[in-house]
Structure 1
Amino acid sequence: MDDLNAKQRQACRAARRLITGEQRTQASKAIAKRALNWLDKHPATSIGLFLSLNEEIDTTPLLHELWARGRTVYLPVVRKQNAPLVWMPYQQGDALSKDSLGIAAPAYNPKYAQEGMHLDVVFTPLVAWDQSGQRIGMGGGFYDRTFAAKIAGQAPLLIGLAYACQEVTRIQARPWDIPMDGIITEQALNII
């Protein structure tokens, strides 16, 4: 099972790297538009988002629109290995620092920290996905640990943001894998 997931992760990362800058820009705008249209129909006020790494969908267009619409945006913070993510509010103009993995994130402050289970919607990064809602991430297990108590179809809704080329036929889920409630690509919105 792990070999299949590793091969799918490798193939999907390679496919993402082939996407040009302009293609990434257009896909990111299309995904932001789909996500915002979906959010217009859902009463989510606290929204988890991620800041994109190299080859991922660029979440900047979505982030700026969420701020413009007055939504409260939270970003994940890795405080330590093998622990759930902590979510910190992120407002326009806030400074970012590096979390324990060296990823840009708001500085941790226990006064404002949120547990992921208290958010309404969390837009998740991923490397590969399938039509049943299974995802393959980068391999750290942070999202699975954070949402281990999640009940399918209930808040927080986990919605993956990815390119259509990251879809695979089937991901062999492990017992600890937490499925997504939906996926948004530049081509479609698929709520599971």
Structure 2
Amino acid sequence: MEKSAIRNNLLKVRKNKFFIKHDQKKIINFILDQKINIIGGYLPINHEFNCLDILNQLSKKVSVSLPIMKKHNQMDFYTWKNNDPLKINNFGIPEPISSISVYPDILLVPLVGFDKNLNRLGYGGGYYDRYIKKIISIKKILTIGLAFSFQEIKKVPIDSYDQKLNFIYTEKGFL
């Protein structure tokens, strides 16, 4: 099955099942054990795994950053605090207004689908693949995909530009 067909099927399922509860203590403790300074998160859209509570808890100990999408399917991460204003980009996604660009130590990555080999299926724009490729050439970073267990598929079709994740976290724990 092609990526676009897999993506469409998973998005339909996620829309109907996104209410699944998850225990955040395990991922928060894991991240804090890494002794990091900056976490890169995202503001959930389209029934994604909601990481806002995780970011709020982590913000007591580390700096939080969020992506701003750029031209040519690029993005960078910028500092953000819980009450900072946001702007809506051309895709309808909230972004920080901050002008302070940072390189996160751990990057939380939204997923449409994933497989047991830590391959990720996103929305198809390649934003996260490009960013991960760029940042790993600059510094050591851990990437953690956030998804629901029902988003796991047997095999994600991968291309040469796709970036594998270090971990995937679901309501059932780490993969």
Query: Do both share a fold (TM > 0.5)?
Result: yes
1: distance between equivalents of 2:49 and 2:73?
Answer: 25
Answer yes or no: is 1:11 the counterpart of 2:2: no
Partner residue, 2:78: 88
Question: Counterpart of 2:133 in 1: which secondary structure?
Answer: coil
Amino acid of the residue matched to residue 69 of structure 2? V
**Could you state the TM-score of these two structures normalised by the residue count of structure 2?**
0.91
Offset of 1:122 from its aligned partner?
0.2
Question: Counterpart of 1:18 in 2: which secondary structure?
Answer: helix
Which structure has the highest strand share of the two? 2
Alpha-carbon displacement from aligned partner over 1:18-46 (angstroms, at most 9, x marks no partner): 1164x3xx23xx2x322102113211211
Answer yes or no: is 1:113 the counterpart of 2:111: no
Alignment gaps of 5+ in structure 2: none
Partner residue, 1:132: 117
Residue pair 2:15, 2:47 contacting (<8 A) in 1 also: yes
Partner residue, 1:49: 41
Answer yes or no: is 1:70 the counterpart of 2:61: yes
Question: Counterpart of 2:17 in 1: which secondary structure?
Answer: coil
Answer yes or no: is 1:98 the counterpart of 2:98: no
2: distance between equivalents of 1:160 and 1:20?
Answer: 16
Residue pair 1:78, 1:101 contacting (<8 A) in 2 also: no
Residue pair 1:83, 1:142 contacting (<8 A) in 2 also: yes
Residue pair 1:121, 1:155 contacting (<8 A) in 2 also: no
**Could you state the TM-score of these two structures normalised by the residue count of structure 1?**
0.83
Partner residue, 2:171: 186
Q: Runs of 4+ in structure 1 displaced over 2 angstroms?
A: 99-102, 149-152
Alignment gaps of 5+ in structure 1: none
Amino acid of the residue matched to residue 90 of structure 1? W
CA-atom RMSD in angstroms: 1.9
Amino acid of the residue matched to residue 91 of structure 1? K
